[in-house]
Structure 1
Amino acid sequence: MKTLSTAANHSVLWLGIAAVLAARRGSSRKAALRGVFAIAAASTSANAVLKPLLPRRRPAASELPAYQKLADPPTSSSFPSGHAASAAAFATAVAMESPRLGLAVAPLAATVAYSRVHVGVHWASDVVAGAALGTGLAWLSRRWWPVRLTDEARARPLDTVPVLHDGEGLVMVSNQRSGDPEHDPADDLETAFPRAVVVRAAPDRDLDEQLDEAVEAVEAVGDRALAIGVAGGDGTVAAAAAVAGRRRLPLVVVPTGTLNHFARDVGVYDLQEAVDATTAGEAVAVDLALVEVHPGPESDAVVRVRYFLNTASLGSYPDLVRLREQWQPRWGKWPAFAAALVVVLSRAEPVAVRIEGRWTTVWFLFVGNGPYHPRGMVPAWRPTLDSGLLDVRWLRADVRFSRLRAVASLLLGALGHSRVYGQREVPEFDVELAVPGMLATDGEVVEEAGHYTFRVAKEPIEVYRRREENWTGRDRPFLP
């Protein structure tokens, strides 16, 4: 007990466990990050705030046997126990991200808390109060950093898509520039779908044009294209989805990009899951969003249409996404987003826009394909893929001290109640810019214009996904 109690001094024990957990990506790393943040909040609250405010004499440890006493007992206030607060905060935070890991850490946390009574430096009530404090602060972190136990979003299941045995009728494009530049996924695709037409994307041509040509070539010889396939990152998938939407064909997604946000939302994590879904002939309905790019008043050009699956943005939001993705592997999505927001706001230039018939200035404008969670905070994920709505959010720049107020509101978990924050959930949204500005879709800058209209396409696209994968194992956090 003495050794364990001493090992938890300054949270060294918990930081060591967090370092081990962070070595593995996924829920383990998210558990470690949340645990460290929870420890910081609990330790600060217990040691820097409550102990000075609530002084209490420690037990008479001198009455204990020598083998049970600490060599250097603490002299600060006994109430509450900082060790118990940090232990409970870490265990609770880990359990929120990974219940299995939480079950492994909880007995150790309870033993550390009890050890403070055993070695005579705390009353039992100190430990109970500290544990309650740590648990409460860990749960409170959900307000700023929502917990998502499953990556898949809900979507309406469909049984109308064709079964593609060995990829028969599938026309698929492979973007070898996505993800690992040393690996060309086309060979794996040809092995997994031996009867499919696999097109290796040429870097100097539009991907949707190459897909259209491949489909027309298939039909020219009397065959029929039954589905469009794509292997790549979010930008590549969006281009293929546009072709699928125009041709009213279902979409097969194989994630080979760096982050693969859309594939994770759909619930397709690797090539084998795409093979299973096409063999079973199961799919879900997914909204396809588009943005109409209007030419200037003196231009004779026609309205151009860009499609996106995840997000579109104006202003400094593309820079925010770039920094978030750069820091996300180390810190996790929400902490990386919060840090990126502070950095980007410090450098950003306001953009004059006309929203809902009123001119104002904003730091950036975000448009999500479907409502993102949580509302009134940093957009983290989509709970559904077929809502028929856009999630539009912006930060106003025409309010005094707008950047400072935005950061303060974010830290207090009250961004949705701040005057600098605006949000709408609508099927269509029109934005006019005083000076032409850059448009980014799915993380890539694609256009520069002064007038954009965002909307949800009338018909959703069909994306292959195994239904049993969505509703059973992956939704049960206790299963491997």
Structure 2
Amino acid sequence: MDLAEIDRRAFDRVAAARLRGLEFVLPRLSKAADRGVLWFGLAGALGSTGIPALRRGALRGVIAIGLASPSINLVGKQLFRRRRPLLHNVPPIRIRRIPSSPSFPSGHSASAAAFATAIALETPKRVTLPVLGLAASVAFSRVYTGAHYPGDVLAGVFSGVVSGLVTRLVWPTRAPARVANLTREIELRDPQGAGVIVVSNNDPETITDLRTELPRAEFVDCQDDLEAKLEDAARRAEILAVCGGDGTVGAAAAAALRHDVPLLVLPLGTLNHFAKTLGIETVADALDAYWSGSVAHVDIAALNDVPFLNTASFGAYSELVDRREGMEKRIGKWPALAVSAFRVLRHATPVDVMVNGEPRQVWLAFIGNCQYGTRGAVPTSRDNLTDGLLDVRLVSVKRHLRRIRALAVVLTGRFWPFSDYEYRLVESVTVDSRGDLRVAHDGETEDARTPIVFTKHPKRLVVFVPI
């Protein structure tokens, strides 16, 4: 007996089955998944929650469907051209519409599996399991309604799972970084926040719930004079807590280092790269870390003794940040970023620098605090905050470099065949130029006096992390 005969017999068994309650449900579920409507709607619902993990899962799910659907419909179906099953054994109540496209593989099953796999890569089990159940129901409904043979569905599921996993090549999944000396404090922290000073540059209404959770903490508004207020708070606090984006957190980390106090990061900025690397995605995560007393020692990098937590950069990215800040109050941060990137691509020019004594014309440079996982010119994520290294990435001009080629280098890094891209892991690097150099670090820009020495302070910063 060949595989095709086994497939037909399996289909006949499903067609002969009578599952009470599902005669009405499964055909409608199958129809809801037409053209991915079910999954795009679910992605919209998850994205609207504002929960970072759910938003990432929703976006990854849409990307996975974008990979799975063309591969099935434009390649798989046209390659195999299998006929649809005969419907003489399928009760008419189940048959909604007879598709005209080839049967193998199942596109509905591929989209369902792709979305479910993407969700499983990002979200907790309480979300993943219902989505997996829904995806399995859609896949089964394609056989139950007579649209596909079981083999079509299995092939579609396999293709969808592969598409979901492939998304990790272009967008790595986020996981908390490894940190050193993870300990649980013996003394209990005051659950109401006594001894905690919270410095915030957020709107007071944004932190109303935080004031309720930590009624005995002191709250300091730092809409202006940020560094002075952080310095005063760090000098007086037992624990320094900071609300804001990466720039504000970086300034707080510098103050915490100077006064040897632990830092509690409350992720209320736009991107919150450092907090997410610690595994803190929400204020609730930060409070759980505080109440548990779980602290760790992590690396901090510095440029000329100015600490930074994520990356420092010069060249086109510094110009992009300056342009974005000039427009974001008028049109919003993300539109300003898009417009700025377009203008920088058109007008940016390389800067002449000496990198460890070697002359370079640098179009774009990133120096990361610890090694980043991806190998492109733009760092994205880390899984270790204690390696004692700087991640240095340069897009240099060794010969005429057209801007479109520079963009290709930025997107592909060392995989561009004629790349002027350099990647190295070092403990320190010195950059010199004629006069000051415009540098961005943790989203803030400044004119830094050269030579600039980028160094590391291994395992110096004490931070609260979730257990």
Structure 1 residues 190, 434: CA separation in 2 closer, same or farther (over 3 Å shift)? same
Query: What are structure 1's unaligned runs of at least 5 residues?
Result: 219-224, 293-304, 328-332, 471-480
Q: How far, CA to CA, are the matches of 2:141 and 2:193 in structure 1?
A: 61
Query: Equivalent residue for 2:108?
Result: 83
Query: Equivalent residue for 1:234?
Result: 246
Pair 1:180 & 2:178 matched: no
Matches within 5 A, 1:131-280: 131-148=157-174, 150-151=175-176, 153-157=178-182, 172=197, 174-175=199-200, 178-180=201-203, 182=205, 188=211, 192-193=215-216, 200-201=221-222, 203=224, 205=225, 207-212=226-231, 228-267=240-279
Provide the identity percentage.
39
- The answer to whether the 8 Å contact 1:406/1:415 transfers is no
Q: How far, CA to CA, are the matches of 2:78 and 2:413 in structure 1?
A: 31
Pair 1:67 & 2:90 matched: no
Query: Equivalent residue for 2:67?
Result: 41
Structure 1 residues 324, 63: CA separation in 2 closer, same or farther (over 3 Å shift)? farther
Specify the code of the residue in structure 2 equivalent to 1:155.
A
CA drift of 1:227 comes to 5.4
- The answer to whether the 8 Å contact 2:61/2:116 transfers is yes
Tell me the TM-score normalised to structure 2 length.
0.76
Specify the code of the residue in structure 2 equivalent to 1:460.
R
Q: Helix, strand or coil for the counterpart of 1:126? A: helix
Q: How far, CA to CA, are the matches of 1:94 and 1:277 in structure 2?
A: 25
How many residue pairs get aligned? The number is 430
Q: How far, CA to CA, are the matches of 1:111 and 1:14 in structure 2?
A: 13
Tell me the TM-score normalised to structure 1 length.
0.74
Q: How far, CA to CA, are the matches of 1:41 and 1:291 in structure 2?
A: 41
Cα deviation code 1:115-152 (max 9, x no counterpart): 3333333333222212111111111111111112x446
CA drift of 1:458 comes to 6.2
Matches within 5 A, 1:4-15: 4-15=29-40
Specify the code of the residue in structure 2 equivalent to 1:382.
R
Structure 1 residues 75, 367: CA separation in 2 closer, same or farther (over 3 Å shift)? same
- The answer to whether the 8 Å contact 2:30/2:141 transfers is yes
Q: How far, CA to CA, are the matches of 1:236 and 1:159 in structure 2?
A: 26
Structure 1 residues 179, 199: CA separation in 2 closer, same or farther (over 3 Å shift)? closer
Structure 1 residues 428, 53: CA separation in 2 closer, same or farther (over 3 Å shift)? same
Query: Equivalent residue for 2:14?
Result: none
Query: Equivalent residue for 2:455?
Result: 455
Structure 1 residues 161, 448: CA separation in 2 closer, same or farther (over 3 Å shift)? farther
Matches within 5 A, 1:289-368: 289-292=301-304, 305-318=305-318, 345=345, 348-368=348-368
- The answer to whether the 8 Å contact 1:96/1:147 transfers is yes
Q: How far, CA to CA, are the matches of 2:171 and 2:399 in structure 1?
A: 26
CA drift of 1:44 comes to 0.6
**Greater shift in the superposed pair: 351-360 or 20-29:** 351-360
- The answer to whether the 8 Å contact 1:362/1:398 transfers is no
Q: Helix, strand or coil for the counterpart of 2:451? A: strand
- The answer to whether the 8 Å contact 2:298/2:458 transfers is no
Structure 1 residues 41, 254: CA separation in 2 closer, same or farther (over 3 Å shift)? closer
Specify the code of the residue in structure 2 equivalent to 1:357.
G
Cα deviation code 1:133-175 (max 9, x no counterpart): 1111111111111112x446423225789877576766x4623
Structure 1 residues 97, 257: CA separation in 2 closer, same or farther (over 3 Å shift)? closer
Q: How far, CA to CA, are the matches of 2:265 and 2:273 in structure 1?
A: 12
Query: Equivalent residue for 1:97?
Result: 122
Structure 1 residues 274, 131: CA separation in 2 closer, same or farther (over 3 Å shift)? closer
Q: How far, CA to CA, are the matches of 2:118 and 2:339 in structure 1?
A: 20
Specify the code of the residue in structure 1 equivalent to 2:277.
D
Q: Helix, strand or coil for the counterpart of 1:457? A: strand
Query: What are structure 2's unaligned runs of at least 5 residues?
Result: 1-25, 329-333
Pair 1:24 & 2:49 matched: yes
Specify the code of the residue in structure 2 equivalent to 1:127.
V
Q: How far, CA to CA, are the matches of 2:105 and 2:351 in structure 1?
A: 49
Structure 1 residues 339, 129: CA separation in 2 closer, same or farther (over 3 Å shift)? farther
CA drift of 1:312 comes to 1.3
Q: Helix, strand or coil for the counterpart of 1:438? A: strand
Q: Helix, strand or coil for the counterpart of 2:83? A: coil
Q: How far, CA to CA, are the matches of 2:206 and 2:385 in structure 1?
A: 30
Query: Equivalent residue for 2:439?
Result: 439
Specify the code of the residue in structure 2 equivalent to 1:123.
Y
Query: Equivalent residue for 1:478?
Result: none
Cα deviation code 1:400-446 (max 9, x no counterpart): 666555666787xx644332432222111112246743111110112
**Greater shift in the superposed pair: 362-371 or 279-288:** 279-288
Structure 1 residues 409, 5: CA separation in 2 closer, same or farther (over 3 Å shift)? farther
